[in-house]
Chains A and B, each alone.
Chain A
Amino acid sequence: EPEVTQTPSHQVTQMGQEVILRCVPISNHLYFYWYRQILGQKVEFLVSFYNNEISEKSEIFDDQFSVERPDGSNFTLKIRSTKLEDSAMYFCASSEAIGDLGDYGYTFGSGTRLTVV
């Protein structure tokens, strides 16, 4: 079964450093997302991306965050200057289609655990 692949599985970084979280969505999917989950809490939306541009972003997704699809396969989330409160599990997701085209939902990756020290 096709998977969304995320690397690394765990990243530890110093406060103020830049991190790049990488994702390889399912190959025929067109819609890409980042969500995060602070330990023990609910999953929170960060950003959605389609056709090489951001479709929607949350209030969490401030100027410190950016997303990019640098080539035909990767989808990255960059945090420019990490803060302690950025520590969370970051999930990438992709979707083949949306809306009444079908019951596709999202396929999530296994996540990258980011620890900011």
Chain B
Amino acid sequence: QQQVKQSPQSLIVQKGGIPIINCAYENTAFDYFPWYQQFPGKGPALLIAIRPDVSEKKEGRFTISFNKSAKQFSLHIMDSQPGDSATYFCAAGPDNFNKFYFGSGTKLNVKP
């Protein structure tokens, strides 16, 4: 059973565009929803995270939208830059951080 489903698998946008990556989760007990950015040859790096008591969180150009009733959350990257080209993973898990379930990843390519 896939605990976290992520789409799309890949995404190409022009510089300045707003790529949107979507995730859906199964388990209503999940309390913490981080997004990770991964460059080739590197480990995932925490980008931004949200808890279900808020519907939106912004950090710089990155925004998470969260819909608790639909069990969905999404990442928006404002004014995307070529340097944002990376693989993005959503994850979900309990607030004790004991175990995260990761989505399958979205490979983003931002063209100059």
Q: Provided the pairs A106-B46, A109-B43, A111-B43 are in contact, do residues A42 and B102 lie with their beta carbons within 8 angstroms?
A: yes
* Size category of the binding interface on chain B: 20 to 34
* Size category of the binding interface on chain A: 20 to 34
Tell me whether A48 and B98 are in contact (CB under 8 A): yes
B interface footprint on A68-111 (CB within 8 Å = 1, 0 otherwise): 00000000000000000000000101010011100111111111
Determine the residue in chain A with the shortest Cβ distance to B101. Answer: A45
Give Cα A105–Cα B43 distance, bound, in whole angstroms: 14
Tell me whether B104 and A42 are in contact (CB under 8 A): yes
A interface footprint on B24-68 (CB within 8 Å = 1, 0 otherwise): 000000000010100001111110010000000000000000000
Q: Provided the pairs A42-B102, A42-B104, A111-B43 are in contact, do residues A106 and B97 lie with their beta carbons within 8 angstroms?
A: yes
Determine the residue in chain B with the shortest Cβ distance to A58. Answer: B99
Tell me whether B99 and A42 are in contact (CB under 8 A): no
Give Cα A58–Cα B91 distance, bound, in whole angstroms: 16
Determine the residue in chain A with the shortest Cβ distance to B6. Answer: A42
Q: Is B79 part of the binding interface, using a Cβ–Cβ cutoff of 8 Å?
A: no
A residues adjacent to B (C-beta < 8 A): 4, 31, 35, 41-45, 48, 55-56, 58, 91, 93, 95, 98-100, 103-111
Given A98-B96, A99-B96, A108-B45, 13 further pairs, Cβ under 8 A: A42-B89, A42-B105, A43-B91, A44-B102, A45-B101, A56-B98, A91-B44, A98-B95, A98-B97, A99-B95, A105-B34, A108-B44, A110-B43
B residues adjacent to A (C-beta < 8 A): 34, 36, 41-46, 49, 89, 91, 95-105
